[in-house]
Structure 1
Amino acid sequence: PWWVKEREEHNPTTEIDWDIMGRPNPTNTGQQTEMWAYYHGQARADAASSKGSEVDNASIAANDPGFSPRCLALKAAVTTSWSSYVSKSWVGASTSSTWTKGGGSVYKGVATPTERGEPKWNGTPEENTHMLNAYQKFVGAAVSGYGEFSTLDRTKLLCTNIKHNADKKFIIDDTVDTAYETSTALAVPGKNQMYHLVHWEHMSHELSRATPAMSGRFNSSDFVATSLKPSVFNFLRYFGYQMIGDGGDSNYPFVEVAVANLTGVCESSRQNLYGLTPELGPIGRIHSYITDMPVAPTYPIDAGQFKFCADCGKCARACPPKVISLDKGPSWDIPDINGKPNLMHHAGTKEYWSDGALCRLFRTEANGCNVCWGNCTFTTNKGAMVHEVIRGTIANVGIGPLNHFFFQMGELFNYGADSQKAEDWWDRSFPVLGMDTTVSSFDGGYKK
């Protein structure tokens, strides 16, 4: 959009002290039951799932909004996985051993230039970025970001190990030019220059506002990723290049919102987990990969959104367990949780800090939440011109009282999350797949 300003490389709107920062260790996250117990007690952690089931069953029995038979069918039926026998591994396509034992063939992907007897594609970084933007949008990436895998990535951004397993490390092997995986390591080839490939995938704005009842189903990006991941993998493979990473939630090589910040896909947020894009607000899913196809970098952006968070705080006030900071501004200091050091965050950025353990614990106890996503002031659609005017003003003016006025207008027009909206959803007409895919479209007669 015209109102988004580009910043210098490695200089997002979230302040970073690169001298303090080291490689992140994602072993401890708020998703782990160990963290729930550490900060909020073993008994509560043990009881969370059963409590969540009780809450769910009670809502179903009472026919609460969002728990009618048609809503339950929607939750159960949306497909969010690959085919039954092929998945994306760290290196490439992975075929189920059950399939091959039954006589099925191993799937490697489309034929490479070598296999076709053709020369490898050799476009310039600018040509490659232009080509990837067009293709990736066609197969599901709403916004794409790119960057060089630099010394900073090696020493500051690449995770030390995979999520929840400190024994399986991310390493850089400068002797090889292709990725590989062992029982103890996921190797990034370091012999040649590598690059970032970042996708922001659509989710449904309407279902995000139907939370907590529809807390999981607005994440329609999972079925977008079902098409996007294999399509981009095969596209790069066709030209003779790698797509490294499985695009899953356990083996990501970078903190994904961090690399999305650095490649200009989004800014940070008060909520501390999701990012904020100029086009879609917080509603989307980030997946990041490493490739050896040369690409031209995209740089951090300033759309005034992270600054807006200081004058808003709607997500924090809406948060049922109150885990989102209400501080007036971001801080370098990571606060303790119940008198214990916060092991889930990584020093070196100036942010609003949250209690990820209590977030996930409460979500399990309540069998759903995601209320903050639907309540974000930027969770709005693009049909009305006023939204574009407001976004442009936020990006280029950013005055506290004016930001607060825009927040109040969102309250007045009832933008926010409510389970009743899960029932209203059935009576309204929304775009195919529940997503306005024109928000990042500028040609062919689509609205700019």
Structure 2
Amino acid sequence: MKKEKKDNKKTSMNRRQFAKAALGGLGAAAASPLALTEAIAKAEADEKKVQDFRKNCVTTVENPILVDESRYQRFSTANIAFNAYSRDIGESHWAPYGRNLIKNLKQGKGGKDIKVGTFDDARAVNGLEAAMQSGNRLTGNHGEGHENRGPLAWDNHITSADLGSFPKSELPPEEFTKQVKIAARLGGANLVGVCKLDHKWVYESTQRNVYSPDTPETQKIVFRDVDRPQETKDELIIPSKVKYAVVMAVEMPRTLIQSSPGPAAGIGDALGYSRMGWAAIALAEYIRCMGYTAIPCKNDTALSVPLAIEAGIGEPGRMGVIITPEYGPCVRLCKVLTDMPLVPDKPIKFGVEQFCNYCKKCARECPSKCITEGEQTWEPRNECNNGGVKKWYNDYKKCLGFWDENGMSCTNCVAVCPFTKGDMWAHHFTEWSIDNIHASHPIWLTLDDAFGYGQRREDLDVFKRDFAPYGMDPDKMPR
């Protein structure tokens, strides 16, 4: 039986009213209401495209993440690879990385075995990578250890001070969910989903002296019955009423990532980090404008991959990241934790686990051999893994060891993944058959190699290609 609406004025918001709120929340005070209304209409259309594209994906009521509750413990960022590896080598991981980067640069190289061209050629490509990191630095530099700092502050009203002083808006969760997804898209998210916030995925503590070889200086992350987020010397306090996570994925430019492990791939990686910071901060500010708590997160505060799985963004792959139907693993994840009442999405399945069981191309092409070729297990490889979840565990300290030796980051696993493809019908047919005809897996892997997918692109191609904004393929912007 349908519930009768008590007061239509209180339980609905028209497009013009939403536009006014979005002006404050997204910092678009100079935009005309008509222009913003058109932008909202475009965001609505993009969300519909995603739903149409995903019509062959199977949604599941059951959580696909298998957890042994008897042994699982919340993870600390003191044990993420960047921090653990820095302790192992006795200095910040970025120190040897930087030394080798400069050494390579002087030789016109973009990695230990990657000749870019002249010194000026290598300098130009590395300069682009540094430039595209600007947004990342301004929005919290990846996010590790930056909880409740600067733009990632948990109670940071920038433009929402006036709007947030009103009583919170009271709308049906379905309407709030629709608005939040539009706001996320306006903020730059390519994909957005909602899940209930399971406390097990929130970090147990965060290391404040990031990338330090010294003893970790940590703060606990706890939930308490408080009205607003708080911080003490020893604790970061999330209000217990914060029960939802809005998870966003931003696409990284495929043709740049496919130059890994050279510097042009670093440009694509940097663009992904910069965009995810803006998306999280913009969405958080919009939610605050509506009167609710919003905690913006990049890689910080909580584990992004399990939240993305539960929010229906994609499936987990062998390499340990999310694989989406639209972009494969060529995305970066961010999220906003909130008490705004929302409608959770359902996890999806489209054949990733079955294909990863057979494929192993990411492990084959990994320079550090950090990616397992074995079966899923409950057992961690080292302190950088959190045991008690059935999945593929990888040795990410080996990965960072290659970064330092190479003097450049590596995204080979993402670049060579058969799901990292352009937007064309043949690739969509392949994905459909992967999900529906498991016997075809050997065929598609063979063809993937035969057609040269996964071969490294040249770094100087960055100055020859016709890019859309943020390095996207011109025919894919917007999808």
Q: TM-score range by the shorter chain?
A: 0.7 to 0.9
2:152 aligned partner: 89
Is contact 2:310–2:347 with CA below 8 Å preserved after alignment?
Answer: yes
Is contact 1:7–1:302 with CA below 8 Å preserved after alignment?
Answer: yes
1:3 aligned partner: 56
Query: Cα RMSD between the aligned structures?
Result: 3.0
| % identical equivalent positions | 24
What SS class does the counterpart of residue 227 from structure 2 fall into? coil
2:250 aligned partner: 201
* TM-score, length of structure 2 as denominator length: 0.76
Cα distance per residue 1:178-223 (max 9 Å; x no partner): 1112222111101x35211111112111110011112421121223
- Paired residue for 1:160, among 204, 210, 216? 204
1:80 aligned partner: 135
1:289 aligned partner: 336
Is contact 1:371–1:417 with CA below 8 Å preserved after alignment?
Answer: no
Measure, in 1, the Cα distance between the counterparts of 2:295 and 2:115: 44
1:50 aligned partner: 99
Structure 1 residues 334 and 440: alpha-carbon distance in aligned structure 2, compared to 1, 3 A threshold: farther
1:108 maps to amino acid: I
1:129 maps to amino acid: T
Measure, in 2, the Cα distance between the counterparts of 1:352 and 1:271: 7
Structure 1 residues 76 and 22: alpha-carbon distance in aligned structure 2, compared to 1, 3 A threshold: closer
Structure 1 residue 377 displacement after superposition = 1.2
Q: How does 1:186-265 map to 2 (within 5 A)?
A: 186-190=236-240, 192=241, 194-213=243-262, 214-219=264-269, 220-245=271-296, 247-249=297-299, 252-265=300-313
Structure 1 residues 43 and 184: alpha-carbon distance in aligned structure 2, compared to 1, 3 A threshold: closer
Structure 1 residues 308 and 241: alpha-carbon distance in aligned structure 2, compared to 1, 3 A threshold: same
Measure, in 1, the Cα distance between the counterparts of 2:196 and 2:91: 46
Q: How does 1:22-421 map to 2 (within 5 A)?
A: 22-32=73-83, 34-35=84-85, 38=88, 49-60=98-109, 64-65=115-116, 67-78=121-132, 79-81=134-136, 87-93=150-156, 108-113=158-163, 115=165, 118-149=166-197, 153-154=198-199, 156-163=200-207, 165=216, 167-174=218-225, 176-190=226-240, 192=241, 194-213=243-262, 214-219=264-269, 220-245=271-296, 247-249=297-299, 252-272=300-320, 274-327=321-374, 329-335=375-381, 342-368=382-408, 369-382=410-423, 384-399=424-439, 402-420=440-458
Structure having the higher helix fraction is 2
What SS class does the counterpart of residue 135 from structure 2 fall into? coil
Query: How many residue pairs are counted as aligned between the two chains?
Result: 401
What SS class does the counterpart of residue 311 from structure 1 fall into? helix
Measure, in 2, the Cα distance between the counterparts of 1:223 and 1:269: 24
Is contact 2:468–2:477 with CA below 8 Å preserved after alignment?
Answer: no
1:88 maps to amino acid: P
Cα distance per residue 1:76-103 (max 9 Å; x no partner): 322324769993234233xxxxxxxxxx
Cα distance per residue 1:30-79 (max 9 Å; x no partner): 212x53664xx669978565344423433449992375454233223223
2:146 aligned partner: none
Structure 1 residues 43 and 235: alpha-carbon distance in aligned structure 2, compared to 1, 3 A threshold: closer
Cα distance per residue 1:232-270 (max 9 Å; x no partner): 12211221112114x244xx2211112111211121111
What SS class does the counterpart of residue 290 from structure 1 fall into? strand
For structure 2, list consecutive stretches of 5 or more residues without a partner in the other structure. Answer: 1-53, 141-148, 211-215
2:129 maps to amino acid: K
Measure, in 2, the Cα distance between the counterparts of 1:178 and 1:306: 40
Which protein has greater RCO, CA pairs closer than 8 Å, 6+ apart?
A: 1
Structure 1 residues 434 and 50: alpha-carbon distance in aligned structure 2, compared to 1, 3 A threshold: closer
Measure, in 2, the Cα distance between the counterparts of 1:171 and 1:305: 34
Q: Which moved more, 1:41-50 or 1:259-268?
A: 41-50
1:100 aligned partner: none
1:102 aligned partner: none
1:101 aligned partner: none
Is contact 2:139–2:274 with CA below 8 Å preserved after alignment?
Answer: no
Measure, in 2, the Cα distance between the counterparts of 1:185 and 1:59: 47
Structure 1 residue 22 displacement after superposition = 2.3
Is contact 1:172–1:188 with CA below 8 Å preserved after alignment?
Answer: yes
Measure, in 1, the Cα distance between the counterparts of 2:338 and 2:248: 13
Measure, in 1, the Cα distance between the counterparts of 2:477 and 2:74: 33
